[in-house]
Structure 1
Amino acid sequence: MRTTPRSAQSSGRPGSGAVRRRCGCRPAGRRPSRVGCSRRRWRSMILDTFATPAVWVLLEEAALHRAVGEPRVMVEQIRPMVRLMEASRVWVHVMPYRIGAYPPLQSMLTLMYFEDEPPIACSESSQVGRLHDFPTVVTRLQAIHDLALSDALSLTESLVPLRAIAEDYERHD
């Protein structure tokens, strides 16, 4: 992801209940939280307002095929992304299978740019996350991201697999 507002970032950390609920898992005997759903809706509304932050996503094609929840859940995740892309509210580039391994594949990388402060980067894996604010590290991570982005599908080309995969999930629902 290229840029994300701090207010739209998840407060859940790996292993926390918030992350388990967001992924559709919850401790036995616990019901889904309405608070978590309200927060997600609030964060998604940020992208529908006029003065929104720029969100630029490099999305691995495999993530679209890896079902998390029922097919209906996947459609509910992909369709709004397509709608936001068509409205030019977010920019999503799909990294196709044919590219194979690429450097950011090993973790999630978030690059954040601010009007009045230097950029920062956050790298996350399944077990650890790290905030990078040292300029040379941030510059190196930006270069890695930009190089990967050059191999990804264009915005227009990325809409094709997004729509096709959503339609495939709809047929299996």
Structure 2
Amino acid sequence: MVNIRSLDPSASPLDYYGSELRRLREAAGLGQSQLGGVVFCTGSLIGQIETAKKVPTRDFSERIDAALMTGGFFTRLVGLVLRSQLPTWFQPYAEMEAKAAYISTYQCQLVYGLLQTPAYARAVLGVEHSDLLDEMVAARVERQRILERDRPPVVWVVLDEAALTREIGGRHVMRAQLEYLLAFASEPWVQIQVLPFKAGEHAAVMGSFNLLRFDSDPDLFYAESYDMGHMTANPEVIRERSVGYARLQATALSVEDSAELIARVMEERYGNGGLA
């Protein structure tokens, strides 16, 4: 049965997407099943997206643009839709992250979100968001698109060795994740250092944090707790954390030695002959 639930286009990006999909589909003289046949999905899925019950993917949006000849409208809109699926408290940071020219991050337990594989992200997010897992993973992958720009931000990651040895999602997921980190060695704007266990106490024992630099805006410091994020442009905080980050970089292994450690952990811990 065709779903004709009314939507308020101003309620959310998802509602706006659904209302525009319905409007342009009807303007093209197509039913939900007819459009579904053109873009290789069910009419039921078209109906769910039109009524904001299902979040569209980027691939779906590209196919809709081609089918309805909408000039990339839905492909542009889907980024906003997916970002709106991020936790409300995290969205302000995600918006600033997308504008940053330089990102410095220390991660004490997990691989940085911008460098996570979908499978790794699914395992991490599934702990707290099992009911919205597809949407949350899609939103995280969408964040990573800033690395695909013609002029991407410079990203410097200091990754605690614990993030390499903490098995997330199983051995196959971890092996693929570490292999993915190694692939960034060919990307000059992404630098990864590992802070080894032997470093002992260090300048970030309080936990993970990010520093964002912009072309024309003040620097930002960001850290998060269980269910909230803290972001500030306070010059004293920025100065203190910048010095702390420089000390972390000096204490961590070099980029080259870090890659060697990642490769060794990948083979010894997550290879065919690794730990069970």
TM class, shorter-chain normalised?
0.7 to 0.9
List aligned pairs for 1:1-173, cutoff 5 A.
6-7=97-98, 22-25=124-127, 30=131, 33-126=133-226, 129-167=229-267, 168-171=269-272, 172=274
How many residues get paired?
A: 160
Q: Gapped runs of 5+ residues in structure 2?
A: 1-93, 100-111, 114-120
Within 1, Cα distance between the matches of 2:192 and 2:209?
14
Return the letter of the residue paired with 1:80: Y
Match of residue 56 from structure 2: none
CA deviation map 1:84-133 (0-9, x unaligned): 13322411110011110112122111000001111010123446532121
Q: What letter matches 1:41 in structure 2?
A: V
Note the residue ranges of structure 1 that are not aligned, 5 or more in a row. 11-18
Q: Secondary structure of 1:104's partner?
A: coil
Question: 2:168 aligns to what SS in structure 1?
Answer: coil
Question: Which is bigger in relative contact order (C-alpha 8 A, separation at least 6)?
Answer: 1
- Distance, in Å, in 2 between the alignment partners of 1:44 and 1:27 is 19
For residues 135 and 227 of structure 2, what CA distance do their matches in structure 1 show?
Answer: 26
Q: Secondary structure at 2:154's aligned position in 1? A: coil
Conserved? CA contact 1:107–1:125, under 8 Å: no
Amino acid at match of 1:109: F
Alignment RMSD, CA only? Answer: 2.9
- Of residues 119-128 and 145-154 in structure 1, the stretch that sits farther from structure 2 once superposed is 119-128
Distance 1:35 1:75, change over 3 A: same
Deviates most, 40-49 or 61-70: 40-49
Q: 1:114-167: CA deviations, max 9, x gaps?
A: 011110101234465321211111111101111121111111111011111222
Distance (whole Å) between structure 1 residues aligned to residue 257 and residue 194 of structure 2: 8
| Structure with max Cα Rg | 2
Which amino acid is 1:71 matched to? Answer: R
Question: Does the C-alpha gap of structure 1 residues 6 and 23 become closer, same or farther in structure 2, counting only changes over 3 Å?
Answer: same
% identity of equivalent residues: 24
Give the counterpart letter for 2:212 in structure 1.
Answer: M
Alpha carbons of 1:73 and 1:23: their partners in 2 closer, same or farther (altered >3 Å)?
farther
- Partners of 1:93 and 1:154 within 8 A in 2: yes
Quick one: distance in 1 between partners of 2:157 and 2:199?
Answer: 17
Q: TM-score, normalised to structure 1's length?
A: 0.78
Which stretch of the first structure deviates more once superposed, 121-130 or 150-159?
Answer: 121-130
Q: How big is the shift at 1:78?
A: 1.8
2: CA distance, partners of 1:160 / 1:27: 34
Q: Is the alpha carbon distance of 1:65 and 1:40 closer, same or farther for their aligned partners in structure 2, counting shifts above 3 Å?
A: same
Residues 48-90 of structure 1: CA distance to partner in whole angstroms, max 9, x if unpaired?
3331111111111111101122111212322222111332241
Question: More deviation in 113-122 or 161-170?
Answer: 161-170
Letter in 1 for 2:97: R
Alignment-mate amino acid for residue 233 of structure 2:
D
